Amino acid sequence: MPILLVHGAAHDENCWNELVPELEKHDLEIHTLTLRGHGANKKYGYHVSMKTYAVDVCKKAREIGQPCVVVGHSMGGMVITAAAQARPELFKQMVYLTAFAPPKSRTRLALYAKELAKLCPEHITPEPKLDFFNGTSSYDANTSIDMFYNQCCGDLQALVERNICPQPIRPFLSPVSWSEKHLGAIPKDYIECTQDNALPIKIQRAMQENMTFNRVETLDSDHSPFTSMPDQLASVIAKLII
């Protein structure tokens, strides 16, 4: 069974390094990609949009050669939503991993995130540093650890240096919408993470009301279970595969 892993904001495909070998233990065929404008896949920030991301995912899915299971993490939930709406025939199943699951109407991630934040007024999300010249934003190491890796062990500084990269700004302002005819016809599941400091569990559960999810699995994890508990995450993903 081919699985395509789609990373979230300010990350690239290196974030899956601990998870891939765990998934392969379940006889799964794993594919990853780095979205344009992230990591080594260089692209001027203002030239990257949510549509750019969707094209990247659809291109990779076509290369796989058969309908695949696509897993979207965090912002990657918006990305796989846009990709599946554009080319639903490429995807057999969708798994949202502590991810944004937008409503059907045209949704811009930046505005939607602010709306969702009202559900958790006690939760303060640090503002990233903006680079208007390059059209990107970024988080420093301490902020990245607190938000993304608060339950991870080992050399967290090295983890940040490997995984964290500048995030193009424009995709956060690009609208995403979907329909029952396209995305609605694809089976969907959600993996929620109860110790997430980037997307608190209350926000994750609110977004689960936007789509019909066949199953919801719960991990007592931070925002990055692919690093903090890759073996448990792999088992949950394998369990969800149709």
What pLDDT does residue 126 have?
87
- Domains contained in the chain, CATH given: 2-240 (3.40.50.1820)
Please give the chain's pLDDT, 242 residues, in tens. Answer: 899 999 999 999 999 999 999 999 999 999 999 999 999 999 999 999 999 999 999 999 999 999 999 999 999 999 999 999 999 999 999 999 999 999 999 999 999 999 999 999 888 888 899 999 999 999 999 999 999 999 998 999 999 999 999 999 999 999 999 999 999 999 999 999 999 999 999 999 999 999 999 999 999 999 999 999 999 999 999 999 97
CA distance 69 to 87: 13
11, 38 Cβ separation under 8 angstroms: yes
Q: In the block, which residue shows the tokens 């979205």?
A: 35
What pLDDT does residue 159 have?
94
Is the Cα torsion angle 125, 130, 134, 139 positive or negative in sign? Answer: negative
Q: In the block, which residue shows the tokens 């974030």?
A: 15
What pLDDT does residue 33 have?
98
Amino acid 14 reads: N
What pLDDT does residue 125 have?
82
187, 69 Cβ separation under 8 angstroms: no
The structure's pTM equals 0.97
CA distance 227 to 15: 7
H-helix or E-strand spanning residue 56: helix 50-64
CA distance 38 to 131: 15
Name beta bridge partners: 136: 131, 168
> Token pair of 237, please?
């993903």
Residues 6+ apart with CB under 8 A from 30: 2, 3, 5, 16, 20, 23, 24
Q: In the block, which residue shows the tokens 């969907």?
A: 188
**Across 128-173, where does the E strand assignment appear?**
129-131, 136-138, 167-168
